[in-house]
Structure 1
Amino acid sequence: MDPHTFRSDIGVDVYWRRRMAALVGVLVVVAVVAWACSSGGSEDTSKVQAQLGGSPTPDPIVTVLPTVTVTPSPSPSSPRRAAKAAARAKQPGDACDAPDLVLNMQGQEDVYAPGSHPRFLLTLVNIGKVMCTAEVGPRAMEVRITSGDDRVWSSADCVSGDTDDIRRLDRGIPYVQEVEWDRRRSGGDCTAKHEGAQAGTYVAVLRSPGLKSRRAVFHLR
């Protein structure tokens, strides 16, 4: 095209400026499209589309997949554990367990004159949560007296007949019993006449299944 044909309307410089501006615009659009295709990131593509006034197109694979809501389920309790828990639940009137009982014994004197019989006060207290029952007979609550390694006397020796004595123990209310020793020895032969204990130092202990009181030390004159 002859450049002289533009002299009647616009100058040659103006014509080439417009051509260059149009070319630059085309290059800018091509660069933007190339950058969007090469980035491969959904986040960057969404930003470009937002700037251009469009909305991001959802991924067809993601659209087809179902939405799953995970609800944590409670772990099933073990039947064996549940059975043990039920077995531990004590009902009022059940037999007392040893850990729920406190056994104690106290002598009335520290020194007994000749002819004076030692006396001991026995107490059994339920510290459990519910009322329970306990055997308090002479075989179940045994007072044993020793002197060194010598077993001198026991309240469980030579006990005959029905000696069972089951008592209700309410929480915190002690069962109280008094035991007297006649100062004579005892043993397996209940028909024999046992001799009297000698003057000296003795130790008394109260025993019950799974329980044992503190020692009570006393002296015979």
Structure 2
Amino acid sequence: MRTIVGRESPRTYWRRRAIVLGAGVVLLAAGLWACGGSGDDPAEPVAAEPSAQAPASAEPSNTFKRPFVGDAPPSASSDVSAAPSGSAAPPAGTVQGGPCADVDLRLEPKPATAVMPKGGYLTIEFRATNAAAVSCVRDVGSKAQEVQVKAGGERLWSSDDCAGSGESSKRTLQPGEVVTSRMTWDGKTSTPGCKKSPRVVPSGKYQVMARLGSAWSKPVEFTID
């Protein structure tokens, strides 16, 4: 007796199609593996590209830093050491702008001529120089200045004898600065206050000296002929 098979349902039809399709995919994969895997070394995996580019590092800053300028001191990490401010202190023993010591002064009486006639007149220049290395203050007025004419140790004439009390004049003398004045001697003797009559100084060799306060010059010789 022959069995008659009717038409199959759609569900059964698609199930068979899926089985056939799956078997075909398996066979295809097996063939690809057999062709690609026959080499000795396995294929190296391809590295994935980074999703985002790494940010570039910042450029290095200059190693030199400016010295600190402001009210607060620079931090200890500053690369530049600040230079010491102010000038170096003066050597010990020097007093800028203080009184001029006698040893700081160079006094010179300069006769206008080395030989003067008896009974004549002689012009004498008074010179005071600050020989110190710094400026100093000194009274250089007429009250502090004096010129004397001597014969050996004997005092014959002084510019202070018949003059008034004079004036004081304190000045700041720069190093090497010179103060000058001129006096005229009439060739006669004098006494303090002009109490005695003058007499004409005879011919001979004499010395002239200059004084500024308590400082004295060396004697300078001249001749009366």
TM-score by length of 1: 0.52
CA distance in 2, matches of 1:142, 1:123: 11
Deviations 1:49-104 (A, max 9, x none): xxxxxxxxxxxxxxxxxxxxxxxxxxxxxxxxxxxx9x955243x32122222222
Conserved? CA contact 1:101–1:126, under 8 Å: yes
- Tell me the residue number matched to 1:65: none
- 2:219 maps to amino acid: R
Question: Which of structures 1 and 2 has the bigger CA Rg?
Answer: 2
- Tell me the residue number matched to 1:36: none
Shift of 1:209: 4.1
Conserved? CA contact 1:144–1:155, under 8 Å: yes
Conserved? CA contact 1:139–1:155, under 8 Å: no
- Tell me the residue number matched to 2:154: 150
Matched, 1:90 2:95: yes
CA distance in 2, matches of 1:189, 1:177: 22
Mapping of 1:1-221 within 5 angstroms? Answer: 90-92=95-97, 94-221=98-225
CA RMSD between the two structures = 2.7
Check 1:161–1:122 CA distance in 2 against 1; reply closer, same or farther (3 A cut): closer
Secondary structure at 1:202's aligned position in 2?
A: strand
Conserved? CA contact 2:119–2:201, under 8 Å: no
Shift of 1:127: 2.6
- Structure 1: 5+ residue runs without aligned partners? 1-84
Q: What is the number of equivalent residue pairs in this alignment? A: 136
Secondary structure at 1:90's aligned position in 2?
A: coil
- 2:124 maps to amino acid: F
Shift of 1:124: 1.2
Deviations 1:22-49 (A, max 9, x none): xxxxxxxxxxxxxxxxxxxxxxxxxxxx
Deviations 1:131-177 (A, max 9, x none): 22222234423211111343100112233244223333111121122
How high is the sequence identity, in percent, across the aligned residues?
A: 26
Secondary structure at 1:96's aligned position in 2?
A: coil
Q: Which runs of 4+ in 1 moved over 6 A?
A: none
